[in-house]
Structure 1
Amino acid sequence: MHDPDADAQHVVIVITTFNRAGHLDELLQSIARLDPLPGGVVVVDNASTDGTADVLAGAQLPCPLLIEHLPHNVGGAGGFAAGMTRALDEGARWLWLMDDDVVVLPAALASFHPWMQRYSCIHGRRYDAAGKPFFWQHLLHESLGVHLPVRGDVFEDSPVFHTNVGCFEGMLVSSEVVREIGLPDARFFLNGDDLTYGWLISRRHPVAYVDAFVLQKTRAQRQIDLGVRHLNDSSDLSRFCGMRNRGHQARYLQLHGSYSRVGFGVGTLLAAGKELVRLVAVERSLTGLAPVWRGWRAARTILRDPHWRPEPPFGDRRAGGAS
């Protein structure tokens, strides 16, 4: 019989933060209320310029708090890569990854406990900032290179839904999987890094989405309900990275024999169309079209780059392997 407290002691929470001191403070306070507690917390400060340093200096947690202050902002992808490296160096057996604009629910680690004996990559459910269930149930359509929503109640017949994508807003992943797959590709910066990382894991291990609420968003976002999913507001940087990173995603699909040039082209049009709908219906502006265009051009450059290489395995990267 596995002890949930013992399992929790092997979990290190990895947080990436940038200029959200207030949200980070709420998150750290919620971690202090976890029962059972994790074995430690790693916070990667992506060169924040607000009060983040003060929040971290004044944080009082009943478990070790380790801080990685980065000299410049390397985005969510680079931040998680740095934080996961630190967690592995500290002997973590499980890494629970999360952004800074959530809080953890007190029984979260106890909720994960039954699933940690069956799976090595697990996602729990989330509430949005209003306390309503946050829609996250997708499958990557490999030919299109687009993650599509799965309609209906995926937990109607089973408390677990197997997916082939990941989300760094709550992914719980074993250290063995990270060492096998490697670290997130820091070149993504943000947007699509976790989707691709989850897909890479799913090629070797089941990726589970379980019927247990473990997180709640604290940052309210404008959104519309499209029936099959919610569409949130975004930023010009996220729009640019989302389109540009399709170039990196295509290279990974090529690497694993899952790339369709025609299908991926259709998927790129769908991705651009989604951004247009987001701009018109959610943000009521078309000024974000320019970053979408720049991102598309950058993706084409990545696809033609003869020097592109995937991120190496964990050990090779630590030794200064290919970038």
Structure 2
Amino acid sequence: MNTDKKVAIVVVTYNRLKLLLQAIDALLKQTYTNADILIINNASTDETEETLKPYAQRGDILYFNTGENLGGAGGFNFGLRTAYEQGYDYYWMMDDDSIPTPTALAEMMKADEALKGQYSYLASYVFWKDGSPCKMNAPRIADDWINDAALAEKGVMRIQKSTFVGFFTKKDIVEKVGLPIKEFFIWSDDTNYCWRCNEVAPGYLVVDSKVEHRIVSNVNADIITDDTDRLARYVYAFRNRYYNYRMVGSAKNYKIYVFKKFMKILTKSKNQKWKRIRVMMKGVRAGKHFNPPIEYVTKREKVKS
């Protein structure tokens, strides 16, 4: 394995200090050592900044404060841009409650060599604390994965999308597709980014690159069942999803998706059914004209008409 490739490990954090310290500890134990840990603090209001000062002074991490809470999408936009501007060629992105096994990054670098760089992104295998696959981070296997079936012997499988927990990409891809859309704030920013990457080159799951996601419960977030005090955030979910469907020319399928959610809320939600529907429809209305720009790390030449 070529160890000359320098990796920026981009971790976005917000008010989750205890888990963040566990994540940093795991990252410092990676067997692939030609990497720097970039902590992107989304203006946490707990003691994150003070606690991380000794880590930064020792050189264990590189620390950046965004100055305001930009959400996960904005944090990864900030972090990926920062890593690019710092001169790194490879980027491994994750949340502050992501705990990689010691060889997780080394397995990414092995896959990079096996694929001879012919990919747009790689995804770690994300599991929950009981060892089962983490549902919210399950990748979508590509319909044409069989065309690359020989790679399965090397623990690599073609996928259509993954999440930003254990997401690995490289400089030339970021130059081509730009940065995550910060205006998404939360939800669907990683799906959007994967779809943009897929237009350049395939993405792959690296089965032996393993990351534990220490979320409270192993369930997908869903407006149908989520706690009522968390409903407001689903405006972002429905708005951003609408944008993604429009991006790939599937606005009709989005309407079918919303109708199915509407019916399931009516039949399966145990409380606040109309509040859930109002939140959903607020997101739908917002998504109809939501058209944020894609930021690029290099200047784009204007296409002559």
Normalised by the shorter chain, which TM-score bucket? 0.7 to 0.9
Paired residue for 2:112, among 116, 124, 134? 116
d(CA) in 1 for partners of 2:266 and 2:66? Answer: 34
Give the TM-score taking structure 2 as reference length. Answer: 0.81
Q: Does 1:83 align with 2:73?
A: no
Aligned position for 1:303:
288
1:266 is matched with 256
Partner of 1:174: 170
Matches for 1:84-233 after TM superposition, within 5 Å = 84-117=80-113, 118=115, 119-135=119-135, 136-138=138-140, 159-221=155-217, 223=219
Counterpart of 1:103, as a letter, is I
SS at structure 1 position matched to 2:284 = helix
CA shift, 1:316, in A, is: 4.1
Cα deviation, residue 167, structure 1: 0.9
Q: C-alpha separation between the residues in 1 aligned to 2:274 and 2:133?
A: 30
User: Match of 1:240?
Assistant: 235
Distance 1:49 1:31 in 2: 24
TM-align CA RMSD: 3.2
- Which digits, 9 at most, give the CA deviation of each residue in 1:267-288, with x for residues without a partner? 23345567789x84xxxx5348
The CA deviation at 1:138 is 1.7
Cα distance change on mapping 1:289 and 1:47 into 2, 3 Å: farther
The answer to whether the 8 A contact 1:190-1:241 is kept is: yes
Rounded to whole Å, the distance in 2 between the matches of 1:292 and 1:41 is: 41
Q: Which residue of 2 aligns with 1:55?
A: 51
Q: Structure 1-normalised TM-score?
A: 0.77
Shift of 1:104: 1.4
Worse overlay, 89-98 or 263-272:
263-272
In percent, how many aligned pairs have the same letter? Answer: 23
Say whether the 8 Å CA contact 1:243–1:272 is kept in structure 2: no
Is residue 14–residue 41 contact of structure 1 (8 Å, CA) maintained in 2? yes
Q: 1:247 to 1:262 in 2, by over 3 A?
A: closer
Uncovered stretches (5+) of structure 2, i.e. residues with no partner: 301-305
Give the distance between the partners of 2:166 and 2:265, measured in 1 at CA: 24
Aligned twin of 1:294: 279
Match for 1:17 among 2, 9, 13?
Answer: 13
Partner Cα distance (1:164, 1:182) in 2: 18
Number of residue pairs matched by the alignment: 284
Residue of structure 2 in register with 1:6 after alignment: 4
Secondary structure class of the residue paired with 1:314:
coil
Structure 1 stretches lacking a partner, 5+ long? 142-149, 225-230, 254-258, 318-323
Q: CA deviation at 1:54?
A: 2.6
d(CA) in 2 for partners of 1:274, 1:176:
43
Residue 66 of structure 2 aligns with an amino acid whose one-letter code is L
Cα distance change on mapping 1:297 and 1:208 into 2, 3 Å: same
1:103 alignment partner, SS class: strand
Matched with 2:303 is none
Shift of 1:56: 1.4
Residue 313 (structure 1) aligns with:
296
Cα–Cα, structure 1 residues 178 and 60, in superposed 2: closer, same or farther, change >3 Å?
same
